[in-house]
Amino acid sequence: MKISFLLHNAYGIGGTISTTFNLAQALAERHEVEIVSVLRHRARPNLALDPKVALRPLVDLRHEKEHPLHLRPARVFPAAEYRHHQYSELTDQRIGECLAATDADVVIGTRPGLNVHLALQAPEHVVRIGQEHLSLDNHPPRLRAALRRAYRRLDALTTVTQADATAYRRRMRLPGVRVEALPNSVPDPVLPAADGTAKVVVAAGRLGPVKRYDLLIEAFALVAAEHPDWRLRIYGKGDEHARLQEIIQRLGLCEHVFLMGAAAPMEAEWVKGSIGVAASDFEAFGMTIVEAMRCGLPVVSTDCPYGPGEIIEDGVDGRLVPVGDRDALGAALLDLVRDDERRRRMGRTAMENARRFAPVPVVERAERLIDEALTLRRAGRRVAPDPGRIRNLLVSQAFAARDTAHAAASQALHTVRRGRR
């Protein structure tokens, strides 16, 4: 079987890139796999990619940034998608040509705009699987409307959490489309796990507002005041760097909190710590949480939508605290800093519990989904009449009937009003 992933930019850094590489590499053990990168801006990817996975770009920004078609806005890629400004008539053209000529049995889109291309432009024989790495609530209403229309043409849609899969089933009304939760996978560690003795707390991710590193730094001030020998290392780069450095200086934490820059792979940095931490207002999944746990670190995280609560078992392999609560975050960190035995025990449990996010179980679930979708597609897209699909179809028909009735009533009222003039 040939499987093709359609990715925004395989040459950058980010959770979607990382998890796509992980899944592609695992599938390549038994299948022919390629990654099609819509954009390319550098010679080689930032992240390592197994040579068994083919990689090809569609638009090379090093040479085509000023291409006349790239200066015109995209028409297929939805305007409400927040990456729309990076797409163009040129990307519309290249993606369309790529899909029309594909010899893949299965094409997997990895963001909403690319899922729309896939749904609308893939040949009939191709299995179309859309991936959602953000949550439904994260999408603005205009985008949700565009996705509702296009996603009906997908064979399957995957989300990274059960909560989001439930939201798509209930609110998007996609009759005949299988909606499944498929978590991101994290490769098996190659280094010895953290032993819980290092007096280091580790955080990682893009330095953006949603990650709330400002809150984390303020919370760590509580730890540093009581245990000045502990350190916080924050890995990542982004627009918040200067502001975060100012907060560190203002709070007098220059000897305690360090902005370490980007690191890839992160495994070597996780194992140098004893506690992982995430302070986000929102996490569609929580890739860094799983990475830390797989390296033997208990993780203290805000209980934000949607991912952390499906990854961490509070008090067992980590801690969950209210979103935006600096004092609760600091207190949870202090609980683990103060208790060496509890910290090490929770770290061992975290490593064991996080095995469910290893490549093998995740890939097995992905392969089952792909095989079942391929069987249905080859059988003429006959959908098994399970109650959930029937219910979705009836709901969809009810809404369609309501909209038709409203339109008819509106037209009748308009006719009456015209007759009165």
- Domain 200-356 classified CATH 3.10.520.10? no
Residue spans of the domains in the chain: they are 2-185+365-378, 200-356
Convert the pLDDT of each residue in 19-40 to its tens digit: 999 999 999 999 999 999 999 9
Convert the pLDDT of each residue in 114-168 to its tens digit: 999 999 999 999 999 999 999 999 999 999 999 999 999 999 999 999 999 999 9
Q: What is the pLDDT of residue 407?
A: 38
Q: Is the pLDDT of residue 401 over 50?
A: no
**Strand 53-60's sheet: what is its strand order?**
53-60, 32-40, 2-9, 106-109, 127-132, 156-159, 178-181
Any residues with CB less than 8 A from the CB of 414 and at least 6 apart, and which? Answer: none
Beta-carbon count within 10 A of 357 CB: 22
- Give the torsion through C-alpha atoms of 234, 240, 243, 244, to 10 deg: -10
Asked whether the domain spanning 200-356 has the same topology as the one spanning 2-185+365-378, the reply is: yes
Any residues with CB less than 8 A from the CB of 42 and at least 6 apart, and which? Answer: 11, 62
Convert the pLDDT of each residue in 299-358 to its tens digit: 999 999 889 999 999 999 999 999 999 999 999 999 999 999 999 999 999 999 999 999
Q: What is the pLDDT of residue 381?
A: 56
- Of 70-84, 286-300, 346-360, 381-395, the poorest mean pLDDT is in 381-395
Task: Name the pLDDT band for 223 (thresholds 50, 70, 90).
Answer: very high
Q: What is the pLDDT of residue 394?
A: 33
Q: Is the pLDDT of residue 391 over 90?
A: no
| Euclidean distance between CA atoms 321 and 103, whole angstroms | 48
For residue 290, give the H/E element and its range.
helix 287-294
Q: Is the pLDDT of residue 174 over 60?
A: yes
Beta bridge partner(s), residue 278: 301
- What value does the mean pLDDT take over residues 250-261? 97
Nearest to 219 by CA among 325, 334, 326, 332: 326
Q: Quickly name the fold that domain 2-185+365-378 has.
A: Rossmann fold (3.40.50)
Cα angle 132, 136, 141 (rounded to 5 degrees) comes to: 125
For helices 359-378 and 15-27, angle between their N-to-C axes, nearest 10 degrees? 70
| Euclidean distance between CA atoms 40 and 43, whole angstroms | 8
Both structure tokens of 183: 């978590």
Q: 14 versus 93: which is more confidently predicted? A: 93
**Are 41 and 59 spatial neighbours (Cβ–Cβ below 8 Å)?**
no
Convert the pLDDT of each residue in 54-108 to its tens digit: 999 999 999 999 999 999 999 999 999 999 999 999 999 999 999 999 999 999 9
Q: What is the pLDDT of residue 18?
A: 87
pTM: 0.80
